[in-house]
């Protein structure tokens, strides 16, 4: 069957449901009134009909398309009109099915784009939340670092636990030295010798280190008492003379 033209009814719109049945076509006819196809085969066959019947059939087809009206004239109803009506219903059902599929595809694209937009928006919100959380974490880290730095500085300024700060050395009085020597089995002479020795060298140990504990030095003095009191081994006049000779 060859298509010859499209006969406009009123306006071209997509119609109802895609089910191919008379109810669907009637609803579409009442609501949408789309175009319909007019085939060349119809025109060729109608030319063989009497003019008055041909005009009746043509008028019945248009009223059926526009208003869904069935012809009441039995001559028209049982003529070529039945074949034309069946083809019109089939074409319009196909057209409705295409419209529905296009509508579904458009809805799918719309839902997909909306989902992408929603996902993108959530991603931005999540990114902003993560950035804000990172900023808070960084601020907290900076505060913790400052706090630890201050605590370390304070702990460095304070003396360590378990250690006592050594008191500065104070030169003892001679009477105190004598009293201590009497306790370690020394004599007043020992105490005076000890006192005079360190008083002369500025209370230094080994001639270079400041004294820290004079009691310990006193005990060491008593232990080495024999070394300190040993007379110097110097030759007498006769020995020197003998050696000289």
What separation in angstroms does the CA of 82 have from each of 40, 61, 75, 87, 93? 16, 10, 11, 9, 17
Q: List CB contacts of 62: < 8 A, sequence separation 6 or more.
A: 7, 9
Are 10 and 106 part of one and the same domain? yes
Domain hosting 180: range is 174-229
Adjacent-strand bridge partners of 37: 6
Instruction: Give me the number of domains the chain comprises.
Output: 2
Position 119 in a domain: no
Residue 61: pLDDT over 90: yes
Contact 28, 15 (CB under 8 A): yes
Structure tokens at 106: 């458009």
**What pLDDT score does 141 carry?**
63
pLDDT in tens, 102-131: 988 988 888 888 888 777 766 666 666 656
Position 49 in a domain: yes
Are 7 and 100 part of one and the same domain? yes
What separation in angstroms does the CA of 120 have from each of 28, 62, 107, 115, 124? 41, 52, 19, 8, 6
What separation in angstroms does the CA of 123 have from each of 108, 113, 130? 22, 15, 10
Of the listed ranges 7-16, 126-135, 138-147, the least confidently predicted one is 7-16
Alpha helices in 78-187 (DSSP H): 81-157, 174-183
Place of tokens 């839902």: 111
Position 144 in a domain: no
If you average pLDDT over every residue of the chain, what do you get? 76
Position 200 in a domain: yes
The model scores a pTM over 0.75: no
Provide φ and ψ at 43, rounded to 5°: -60, -40
The last residue of a domain, from among 60, 77, 110:
110
Position 182 in a domain: yes
The last residue of a domain, from among 110, 139, 163:
110
Position 32 in a domain: yes
Position 235 in a domain: no
Are 11 and 91 part of one and the same domain? yes
Position 116 in a domain: no
Residue 78: pLDDT band with limits 50, 70, 90: confident
Residue 10: pLDDT over 70: no
């Amino acid at each position: 069957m060859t298509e010859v033209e499209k006969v406009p009814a009123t306006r071209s719109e997509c119609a109802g449901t895609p089910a191919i049945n008379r109810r669907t076509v009637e609803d579409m006819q009442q609501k949408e009134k789309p175009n319909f196809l007019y085939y060349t085969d119809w025109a060729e066959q109608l030319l063989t009909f009497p003019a008055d019947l041909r005009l009746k059939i043509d008028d019945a087809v248009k009223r059926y398309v526009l208003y869904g009206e069935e012809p009441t004239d039995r001559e028209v109803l049982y003529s070529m009109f039945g074949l034309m009506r069946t083809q019109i219903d089939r074409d319009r059902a196909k057209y409705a099915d295409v419209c529905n599929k296009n509508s579904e595809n458009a809805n799918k694209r719309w839902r997909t784009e909306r989902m992408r937009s929603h996902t993108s928006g959530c991603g931005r919100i999540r990114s902003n939340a993560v950035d804000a959380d990172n900023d808070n974490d960084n601020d907290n880290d900076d505060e913790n670092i400052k706090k630890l730095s201050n605590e370390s500085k304070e702990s460095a300024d304070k003396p360590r636990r378990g250690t006592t700060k050594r008191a500065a050395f104070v030169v003892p009085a001679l009477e105190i030295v004598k009293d201590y020597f009497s306790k370690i089995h020394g004599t007043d002479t020992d105490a005076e010798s000890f006192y005079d020795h360190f008083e002369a060298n500025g209370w230094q140990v080994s001639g270079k280190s400041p004294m820290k504990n004079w009691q310990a030095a006193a005990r060491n003095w008593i232990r080495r008492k024999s070394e300190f009191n040993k007379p110097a081994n110097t030759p007498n006049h006769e020995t020197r003379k003998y050696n000289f000779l």
